[in-house]
Every structure is written in structure tokens, then in C-alpha cells.
Amino acid sequence: MVVVAQISDLHFNGTDDNRNRVRAVLDYLHSTVDGGTRIAALLVTGDLTDEGLPAEYAEAAAELRSPIPMLTLLGNHDDRAAFTAQRDGIASTGPVNSMLRHENLLILALDSSIPGRSDGYLSDETLDWARRRIAEAGDVDVLLTWHHPPAHLGMPHMDAICLDADDRVAALVHDHPNIVGVVTGHAHTPAATVFAGRPLIVAPGVSSTLNLPVEGPDWINTTQGPGLALHLIDDHRLTTHFRVLPRW
């Protein structure tokens, strides 16, 4: 069994509240490091910052430190040039894709951000990159992750800015039966549904939680603490557990 942790929608903005929320989920995850089953990877699935500013990426770089191998994705609040300038010392506006291999699991982190827009899209360049990585890995389980959910979640505002999940994206999943599922962020709510016949899991937000229409007219749920997801991959099956930490 492989355990993969996920946190999403951190929205670093220089405030103590968001910073402390991130510290709370990291402290929780780090408390497990000396346990029996180790976390193989930590996915940070986008919206690292609130406005994509260099100062916000400097704050994120200072706070996002972990002994757990980490994959960091970009969301609609992020800026590719500012992120890569902080990470690499050289600004780039191309898709920021990455991967991590742990034993018989390949994790592909794809960039669904569109510069200057809030909705999501996976470019041909990104999809071709993913296909090559899957082919190179051989007969292993594959977990896909990006920021924007590729399906509606019953949240009108967020559904309006979800991923444009056209036939190319569905084909990536259909063509590779070793893909165990897709995990995303963006919606600031824990959710589970299906995309292209595989599990689609949405992680809760760290910075805030967003309500469903049935929960009332207020969009932001101020009663919820920061959340995280723990994904278990075993025998080609994805199981996800959610944790919401108490407010301080």
C-alpha cells in the first residue's frame, strides 16, 4: 500500500490566518513521519498564492518545507513566471508539469492553469508529456493530479470555472487502464465523484471551505478549519480519507 497526502488551495497572502492554517496541516502530516506506514508523497495541488505575487511565492517557499517528497502544482490564482522565478531563478511561462515515482506508483502532476483566466485547461503539450511518462514507466499504477476538477460538483460558481474536460482529457484516462484515479483541488471542499470511469477526488481547502447551495446563501463557510486528504493506493484501488483540523 502506498499513502499519498494532498493539500490544496493554500492562498498564501501574507496573513497570519492563512500561514497558520498551512502550518497546521503540515504539522499534522509531519506527526505521522515516525509512524509505521510512511507517507510516500505530498501533493500541493495549486493556488499556492492569492494573487501570484513574488512576495507570496517567497512566503510559500519559506513555509512549504517537509521531509515528505513534495509535488507542487499551479492553480488559477498562481502565476507561472513568478512561481518558476522563485523555484528555479529563471521565469518561464510554459506549463509546469512534474512527476514522482515511488515503487510501483507513478504520480503525474499536470498544469491545468490558464494564464490570466480562472478556468482550467490541459494543453496538448501537457497531455503528450503525460502519455510519454506513462509509456516510459511501464506496468505500474498511475495517479493523475491537477488543480481544476474535470466534472461539475454541484457548486455553480466553481463549476463555471472548472476544467474544460474535452475528449482529449477523457482519452488520456480511457487509454491507460493503469490510471487509478484523478485528484484535484480548486473547489475548497472535499468531494468524490467519477471522471472517465475512474475515481475523481477533490481535496478540501486549506485556506477556506466553500459551501454548497443547500448550505445557505453564504459562499464561504467560516466554521471550518483547514483540511487535507490521504490517498491510499493498494492493489490498483484508490481509497481516500479526509481530515479537517479544528479551528484554533
Q: Distance (Å, rounded) from C-alpha 72 to C-alpha 65?
A: 12
CA distances from 244 to 24, 33, 209 (A): 10, 19, 10
CA distances from 25 to 190, 197, 204, 208, 223 (A): 15, 31, 11, 13, 17
In the prediction, which pLDDT does 222 show? 86
Q: Distance (Å, rounded) from C-alpha 8 to C-alpha 11?
A: 9
Grid coordinates in use for 40? Answer: 510516500
Buried b (16+ CB within 10 A) or exposed e, 17-40: ebbebbebbbeebeeeeeeeeebb
Q: Distance (Å, rounded) from C-alpha 114 to C-alpha 135?
A: 26
In the prediction, which pLDDT does 36 show? 60
Q: Indicate the burial class of 132 (C-beta count within 10 angstroms; 0-12, 13-18, 19 or more).
A: exposed
What is the third-level CATH fold of 2-244? Answer: Purple Acid Phosphatase; chain A, domain 2 (3.60.21)
Which helix or strand (DSSP H or E) is residue 56 part of? helix 54-63
In the prediction, which pLDDT does 248 show? 58
Q: Distance (Å, rounded) from C-alpha 27 to C-alpha 42?
A: 13
From first to last of its 248 residues, the chain has per-residue pLDDT tens of 999 999 999 999 999 999 999 999 999 999 976 556 789 999 999 999 999 999 999 999 999 999 999 999 999 999 999 999 999 999 999 999 999 999 999 999 999 999 999 999 999 999 999 999 999 999 999 999 999 999 999 999 999 999 999 999 999 999 999 999 999 999 999 999 999 999 999 999 999 999 999 999 999 998 999 999 999 999 999 999 999 998 75
Grid coordinates in use for 213? Answer: 447551495
In the prediction, which pLDDT does 34 show? 58
Grid coordinates in use for 168? Answer: 482529449
Main-chain phi, psi angles of 58, to 5 degrees: -65, -40
In the prediction, which pLDDT does 133 show? 98
Number of Cβ atoms within 10 Å of the Cβ of 161:
16
Measure the CA angle with vertex 239, ends 238 and 241; round to 5°: 145
Q: What angle in degrees, to the nearest 10, is found between the helix axes of 54-63 and 80-88? A: 50
Q: Distance (Å, rounded) from C-alpha 233 to C-alpha 4?
A: 8
In the prediction, which pLDDT does 247 show? 72
